[in-house]
Amino acid sequence: MCETFDLQGGNAGMAERKLAKSLAYESVDEAIFGFAKRPVTCGHGVTVGGGEVLPEVNFTLPPMPIRDETLPEVRQRFREMVTRILQRAVHLGQEALVLEFEQLYEMTRNPDWGAIITSDIKKVMDEFNQKHGLRTALRVTVADIRDEERPPKMRTGVPTEKMLQAFELCADAGADILSIESTGGKEVSDRALVEGDIDGLIFALAVLAPRDMEFLWGQIVDIANRHGVVAGGDTACGFANTAMQLAHQGLIPKVLAAVMRLACAPRSLVAVEMGATGPLKDCGYENPVIKFITGVPISMEGKSSACAHSSPLGNIAAAVCDLWSNESVQDVRLLGGFAPEVFTEILIYDCRLMNTALKNGQGKCLRDLLVESDRFRDPQALMLDLTVMHEAAKRIVANGDDYHRTVEMAKLAVKTIQDAINDGKLSLPERELRWLAMISEAIQVLPSSAEQLTERATVVWGDTFIPSEYGL
């Protein structure tokens, strides 16, 4: 059973969404890594956000077929991965950590497979708890398989049924925390990104995505409540992190990726407004905004997730984290052991430094150094400056609907970048400056309401999404 704090003061599984209207953190200086205003306890007595930063280890298979006939091998591989991870943790004297089982598409398409592997993993964790007193909790992240077909069916059809069944079965099989990287609106966002279409991006993030989040998280919270587990949270990985990787490859401007970074915060907040309690998921770089608003604990990733992808957010991402993650690493052999256990060690040492800083009264100093080391090196890193994140939080709670919240985030992103350029703190090439001007102009001429944008966007994007699947 898991102890959680309900933001709405009632049952966490309430069907009605409760819009956040105030801040949990009135000032930036209140927030620091390892502490959350509303910590969560789950698994074998693991408290997230209770005064220390804990590692969250994400591990996955090497390239291999996942079929009925290979399932025994897949199960054995997961058992071995978890055993090696926990052995390394015991060896290093780590007392508590979180494991994330991020399902591959095949495991959600076949919910029984995901549940069996969940049970296998939890049994190994139970054994280490009994033998070594190692406190662990298991996050299961179900894959959003609805996006496999385009235009996707977000509320009806077999993929939705299987995905919800996967949550149900994994909650019953031993998951302590339920999460997802949901994709509502991604069918529009993907094309709008490569076309630099601000109308399309705002429509995806401010109209489609929140509607899907309300539908989906109402279901997930209900499942979590019935099974006595934690409804963790969502992430805008499919939106802002897609933009980050496209920018890394030079396919879109960095300033557009930066705008996406802030603009995703309102849609991810919806999970908590529907009853999720955190810990929010690691690849949601928008998580500090949500922590400032709600006080829920958050997982973050940065330098130690380079095994999964490059990012300009290596240090700054840790500034107010409660869990510190490697994102995901394949089970391949390195000189120091298999990769998941190697990255377990890296995370443990990262967390040890942060926790030692807290104990020695140097936590805020380290926090500020983490921010300072990154923030003016890339416009995307600038979005994670705690003052920017806190301002974003203030603007979100000051607006009462998803559309105006999202537009305000886009405006704040542009203003923040422009101010840093004007102050001589951020230098960008001419191409990026031209794009910044175009983005700014496009934001200024956005319609005054979601209804007007929907009408306009439907003409352009009508063949890309199915309105009824979003309740439109």
Tell me the C-alpha distance between 404 and 201, whole Å.
14
Tell me the C-alpha distance between 128 and 289, whole Å.
35
Please say if the pLDDT value at position 120 is more than 50. yes
Please say if the pLDDT value at position 238 is more than 50. yes
Three-state SS letters, the chain: CCECCCCCCCCCCCCCCCCCCCCCCCCHHHCCCCEEEEEEEECCCEEEEECCCEEEEEEECCCCCCCHHHHHHHHHHHHHHHHHHHHHHHHCCCCEEEEEEECCHHHHHCHHHHHHHHHHHHHHHHHHHHHHCCEEEEEEEECCHHHHCCCCCCCCCHHHHHHHHHHHHHHHHCCCEEEECCCCCHHHHHHHHHHCCHHHHHHHHHHHHHHHHHHHHHHHHHHHHHHCCEEEECCCHHHHHHHHHHHHCCCCCHHHHHHHHHHCHHHHHHHHHCCCCCCECCCCCCHHHHHHHHCCCEEEECHHHCCCCCCCCCCHHHCCCCEEECCCEECCEECCEEHHHHHHHHHHHHHHHHHHHHHCCCHHHHHHHHHHCCCCCCHHHHCCCHHHHHHHHHHHHHCCCHHHHHHHHHHHHHHHHHHHHHCCCCCCCHHHHHHHHHHHHHHHCCCCCHHHHHHHHHHHHCCCCCHHHHCC
Token digits of residue 278: 């955190």
Of all residues in the chain, what percent carry a pLDDT higher than 90?
96
Given the DSSP bridges, would you call strands 323-325 and 96-102 parallel, antiparallel or unpaired? unpaired
* pTM of the predicted structure, to 2 decimals: 0.95
Whether the ω angle into residue 279 lies within 30 degrees of 0, i.e. cis, is yes
Please say if the pLDDT value at position 12 is more than 50. no
Contact 257, 380 (CB under 8 A): yes
Give me the pLDDT at residue 5, please.
30
Angle at 414 between CA 461 and CA 394, to 5 degrees: 95
Give me the pLDDT at residue 15, please.
58
pLDDT tens-place string over residues 394-430: 999 999 999 999 999 999 999 999 999 999 999 999 9
pLDDT tens-place string over residues 150-161: 999 999 999 999
Tell me the C-alpha distance between 305 and 318, whole Å.
12
pLDDT tens-place string over residues 369-395: 999 999 999 999 999 999 999 999 999
* Phi, psi for 300 (deg, rounded to 5): -140, 160
